Structure formats: C-alpha cells, structure tokens
C-alpha cells in the first residue's frame, strides 16, 4: 500500500488504536470523513484484520516464553503448523527454511504447561523432533511495524 494518507492513518492507529477519527484526522491533516473511509477501506482489503490490545504477559503470570523448532516428515509442515496454531499457548507459528520446518513461539505460566505443550506436539503424526529454547530476557516484543 503506497498511499501516504493511509500510511499515516495506520501509523497513528498503531501508536494508539483508541484514538477517534477526529483525533487522527487532526494529526494527519485530513478530515475525519477521510480517516473513516481509509479505515473502512483498510478493513475491507484485509490490511486491518482485527483490533486488539498489547498485553504485558509477564504481569499476567506468563513467566516463560519458549521458541520451539520442529522437524516434520512426510511434507506435512502446513497441516501440522495449522494444528499447532490452534493450541492456546501459541503466539506465532511459522513454516521456515533451514534445519527445522516449523518455528513456534509460545507463552507459559509454568514449566509443567511447557512440558505438556511439548509432549502434545510430539504426539502429532509426522512430528519427528522438537528443540525448545527458553527466552531469558525479552528485549523487544511488538509486531506493530510502522508503514
């Protein structure tokens, strides 16, 4: 998307999605009707998929963040990835290049939750092996790239 006005509107909502059309319009230098139409267009095009909050998961008790590499046999990467994506602890599931086939980012309150999660993945047919990394410090965790 190369439209400068739409990019500015997106940037404002990425900074604070609770802003009104009027507040964004004032900052971007357009009418509130223009902001409303741009937001509607972005939603219709699937660029804006949903509205959500950015949470501090550690404050909610999720002390562990794990990154799990998964090796899959039989070319079932997408099927297995879709199955893992349905598990409540997953924040991201990626089909990747390299030595592993799938990379999963998950959040857990306890070591037992992480252990159960890993064991469940290992029961999925065609999952050959997992390798789990524990995050020691989160330096950045925000997927809100500004256009």
Q: What is the pLDDT of residues 111-126, one digit of tens each?
A: 999 999 999 999 999 9
The domain total for the chain is: 2
Q: What is the pLDDT of residues 14-68, one digit of tens each?
A: 889 999 999 999 999 999 999 999 999 999 999 999 888 888 899 999 999 999 9
Based on the domain organization, do 29 and 79 belong to the same domain? no
pLDDT for 147 equals 64
Is 117 a domain residue? yes
Question: Residue 2 pLDDT more than 70?
Answer: no
Task: Give the whole-angstrom CA distance, residue 68 versus residue 121.
Answer: 10
pLDDT for 55 equals 87
State the CATH number of the domain containing residue 80. 3.30.70.920
Pairing label, strands 102-108, 64-72: antiparallel
Domain span at 15:
4-44
Closest CA to 100 of 125, 123, 80: 80
State the CATH number of the domain containing residue 39. 1.10.10
Based on the domain organization, do 76 and 12 belong to the same domain? no
Q: What is the pLDDT of residues 68-90, one digit of tens each?
A: 999 999 999 999 999 999 999 99
Is 49 a domain residue? no
Based on the domain organization, do 63 and 113 belong to the same domain? yes
Phi, psi of 103 (to 5 degrees): -125, 130
Q: What is the pLDDT of residues 30-42, one digit of tens each?
A: 999 999 999 999 9
Based on the domain organization, do 10 and 73 belong to the same domain? no
Is 52 a domain residue? no
In the chain, at which residue ranges do the beta strands (DSSP E only) sit? 64-72, 90-95, 102-108, 127-134
Question: Residue 141 pLDDT more than 90?
Answer: no
DSSP state of 73: S
Question: Residue 99 pLDDT more than 60?
Answer: yes
């Amino acid at each position: 998307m190369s439209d400068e006005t739409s990019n500015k509107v997106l940037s404002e909502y990425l900074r604070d999605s609770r802003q009104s059309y009027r507040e964004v319009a004032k900052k971007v230098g357009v009418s509130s009707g223009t902001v409303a139409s741009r937001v509607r267009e972005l939603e219709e095009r699937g660029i804006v998929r949903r509205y959500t909050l950015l949470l501090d998961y550690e404050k909610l008790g999720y002390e562990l963040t794990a990154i799990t590499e998964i090796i899959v046999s039989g070319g079932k990467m997408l099927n297995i990835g879709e199955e893992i994506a349905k598990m409540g602890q997953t924040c991201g599931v990626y089909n990747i290049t390299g030595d592993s086939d799938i990379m999963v980012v998950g959040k857990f309150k306890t070591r037992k939750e992480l252990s159960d999660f890993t064991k469940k993945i290992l029961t999925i047919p065609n999952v050959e092996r997992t390798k789990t990394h524990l995050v020691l410090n989160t330096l950045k965790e925000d997927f809100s790239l500004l256009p």
